Structure 1
Amino acid sequence: MDIFLHILWNNVLPLSVIIGLGAFLHRMFTLDIKTLSKLNFYLFSPAIMFQLLYGTAISLGLLGNVLLFFTAFMLAQYAVTEAVVRLRGYDGGKRAAMRNSVLFYNSANYGIPINQLAFSGNPYTLSVQIIIMMMQSLVPNTYGIYSVNAHKADWRRIRNVILSMPVIYVIPVAFAMRGFHVPLPGFLDISIGYLANAFIGTALFTLGVQLGSMKGGIDRGLALDVGLSVLLRLVGGPLLAWGVVLVLGLDGMLASALIVSSAVPTSLSSVLLAVEFDNEQQFSSQTVLVSTILSIVTVTATIYLLRVG
């Protein structure tokens, strides 16, 4: 019960307040969601990624193990989701939205606090979560962009969009600067810090604006599809992660941190992609909202079953 209340009070309710403000202000003033989306993609997301990677010590051994897990886990998730997509007979846009809602999970503003809660601020498990967050930032900005555009644009245009994403350049730059001990000038450090701090609030606010733009609230016609997505993300995610760590022979704190990292709700990036590229916006918004609410129960159960914290 203590974990349940902690997640509700310190994770879900703060997120809900900002989402609610976005919905309220959009109803009042009809805000430009495209501008908010671009701020997230081109400014705030790259800033927080650089700040975390530049400021965190990560060993090559840990990096290799986490990347191996992440690759196997994503392939397993993709296979299961693809089976559901084919059984349901989704078209191009809906197929991409369903994949994104399961494959992309909230490893930043939800995953990092949950990691800190479950493992009592352990720096080792935090490093694990930051690597997962790095990949969960890179994949939506590459594969995610491809998936939502593949059915309506040619490869050359999609490639140009992907190459315009700052995150794919920020990651190697941050690693290189840390590896070669390149100091960051004080004024840049402060500026990046301000931008990084704006990421979570702006992303949540953007989700609220999208939800506020929906007519009549939750679309009952999407209930089954949203339910399948949430089931695959919140229940299928940690179960698949458990299977992957067993197959790879990972154990201890590393295995527990990886399983907890996989249990979090659908990422805001799925909504940002839907908004930016006009692809199944209502479905994407509702999966984030419903999975975030239900994660109070499922994440608590995952942490309890792992006997961590």
Structure 2
Amino acid sequence: MSIFLHILLTNVMPMSIMIAIGIILEKVFHLDIKTLSKLNFYLLSPAVIFALLYETAIAPEMIGKVLLFFVLFMVLQYIVVEIVVRLRGYSPTMKSAMRNSVLFYNSANYGIPLNQLAFAGNKETLGIQILIMMMQSLVPNTYGIYSVNSHKANMKQVWKTIIGMPVIYVIPLAFLLRGFEVPIPGPIQTPLDYVSDAFIGMALLTLGVQLGQMEWKVSRSLAIDVSISGLLRLVAGPLLAWVIVKLMGIEGLTAAALIVSSAVPTSLSSVLLAVEFDNEKEFASQSVFVSTLISIITVTAVIFMLNIEV
């Protein structure tokens, strides 16, 4: 129990405190979440993805291994959630909302700080988390946008929105510049460092502000669906990840980093998509709130069990 409490206090609580500060700021000042979201979405997130991909040495073998894991993980998650939505007989809008709440997880403003705390800033595990964050940035900005709009007629506008996502361009740019060893000029590197350094704090505060604007209760009509979403994301997620790393023969810190990366709560992307495209906003918000709250215990439990195994 002492080890469990140590993990809770040193790995999870620092993030929880930052999120709580964001909640308090929202309650006192009623901050504009759309402005904060746009800062994260169009500036901070692309900047930190570019900086981390450009600066972090990741072996080609590791890239292939992580990407294979990610594809297998997403496919298995999709199969599981598809079985659930069919058994529940959801409407088209609810189907996409449930899929998004499970498939899109908070690998950036929750996953990066968690990785840094859980693995004491280990560069190898950070590289793994960066790759997962990269893919989790691409999926909501492509498939996610398509998913919430697939039942609508105006697909031209959907593709226009997808093409306008900056993360689509910064990922290949970072790989190209790193691959050809092109140096970043000082006048660009300095502001890039400033923006990247601000990412973790701003991301956690934005998450807190978002949670502060939500109703801290689960509607009776959505209680079962929100519970299902939480179980699939926080329990089935790391279990599926564990199965995959075992089947792939991945061990040690690499396996632990991949499992931890899969144990984080539902991403704010699912809420942003729901709000932007008017798709089950109440369910999306409550799923993020509940999964983030419960993750304080479930993520601690996952790290605790991995500490025993690794």
Same fold? TM cut 0.5? yes
Counterpart secondary structure, 2:57: coil
After superposition, give the CA deviation of every residue in 1:158-216 in whole Å (9 maximum; x if it has no partner): 21111111100110001111111111112212222333344455555555555555568
Equivalences for 1:166-181 in 2 at 5 Å? 166-181=166-181
CA contact (8 A) 1:222 1:283 kept: yes
Between the aligned partners of 1:185 and 1:215, the Cα distance in structure 2 is 46
Partner of 1:127: 127
In the alignment, what sits opposite 2:223? Answer: 223
Gaps of 5+ in 1: none
Deviations 1:71-93 (A, max 9, x none): 00000001111111112222222
Equivalent position amino acid for 1:227 in 2: S
Distance 1:214 1:15 in 2: 14
The 5 A counterparts of 1:185-224 are: 185-200=185-200, 202-204=202-204, 206-207=206-207, 210-211=210-211, 213-214=213-214, 218-224=218-224
Match of 1:156 in 2: 156
| Cα deviation code 1:105-149 (max 9, x no counterpart) | 111222122223332322111111111111111111111111111
- The answer to whether structure 1 residue 5 and structure 2 residue 9 are counterparts is yes
Distance 1:210 1:149 in 2: 23
Report matched runs for 1:29-40 at 5 Å. 33-40=33-40
Alpha-carbon distance between aligned partners in 2 of 1:301 and 1:216, rounded to the nearest angstrom: 24
Residues 214-223 or 93-102, more deviating: 214-223
Instruction: Please state if 1:109 is matched with 2:109.
Output: yes
**5+ residue gaps in structure 2?**
none
Matched residues, percent identical?
62
Specify the SS of the correspondent of 1:299.
helix
1:244 to 1:91, Cα distance in 2 relative to 1, 3 A: same
Letter in 2 for 1:267: S
The verdict on how the C-alpha distance between 1:32 and 1:188 changes in structure 2, with shifts beyond 3 A counting, is same
Supply the AA of the counterpart residue of 2:267.
S
Is the contact made by 2:110 and 2:204 (CA closer than 8 Å) also made in structure 1?
A: no
Q: Partners of 2:148 and 2:197 in 1: how far apart?
A: 28
Cα distance in 2 between the residues matched to 1:207 and 1:281: 16
CA distance in 2, matches of 1:236, 1:71: 16
Closer/same/farther in 2, CA of residues 124 and 209 from structure 1, 3 Å limit: closer
Report the Cα distance in structure 2 between the residues aligned to 1:272 and 1:199, rounded to whole angstroms: 18
Superposed, which structure 2 residues align to 1:59-98 within 5 Å? 59-98=59-98
Shift of 1:290: 1.4
Distance, in Å, in 1 between the alignment partners of 2:109 and 2:117 is 13
For residues 160 and 243 of structure 1, what CA distance do their matches in structure 2 show?
Answer: 38
Cα offset, 1:219, TM superposition: 2.9
* SS at 2:9 equivalent: helix
Distance in 2 separating the partners of 1:235 and 1:129: 19
Separation in structure 2 between the aligned mates of residue 252 and residue 263 of structure 1, nearest angstrom:
17
Contact in 2 for aligned 1:33/1:275 (Cα 8 Å): no
Question: How much has 1:307 moved relative to structure 2?
Answer: 2.0
Can you list the C-alpha shifts for 1:31-68, whole angstroms capped at 9, x where unaligned?
65444443333222211211211111111100000000
The change in CA–CA distance for 1:17 and 1:160 in structure 2 (over 3 A counts) is: same
- Residue in 2 aligned with 1:298? 298
- Determine the structure 2 residue equivalent to 1:249: 249
Alignment of 1:271-290 (within 5 A): 271-290=271-290
Distance change (3 Å), C-alpha of 1:20 and 1:55: same
| Counterpart AA for 1:237 | G
Aligned length: 305
1:207–1:271 contact (8 Å) kept in structure 2: no
Of residues 2, 19, 22, the one that matches 2:26 is 22
Does the C-alpha gap of structure 1 residues 304 and 33 become closer, same or farther in structure 2, counting only changes over 3 Å? closer
- Hey, what's the Cα distance between the residues in 2 that align with 1:119 and 1:199? 19
Matched AA of 1:38: K
Once residues 128 and 230 of structure 2 are traced to their aligned partners in structure 1, the CA distance between those partners, rounded to angstroms, is 24
TM-score (norm 2): 0.90
Counterpart of 1:141 in structure 2 is 141
The amino acid across from 2:79 in the alignment is A
Question: What letter is aligned with 1:112?
Answer: I
- Measured in 1, the distance between the counterparts of 2:305 and 2:63 equals 26
Q: Work out the CA distance in 1 between the residues paired with 2:253 and 2:209.
A: 38
SS at match of 1:139: helix
Q: How does 1:42-61 map to 2 (within 5 A)?
A: 42-61=42-61
Query: What amino acid maps onto 1:229 in structure 2?
Result: S
Aligned-residue CA RMSD (Å): 2.2
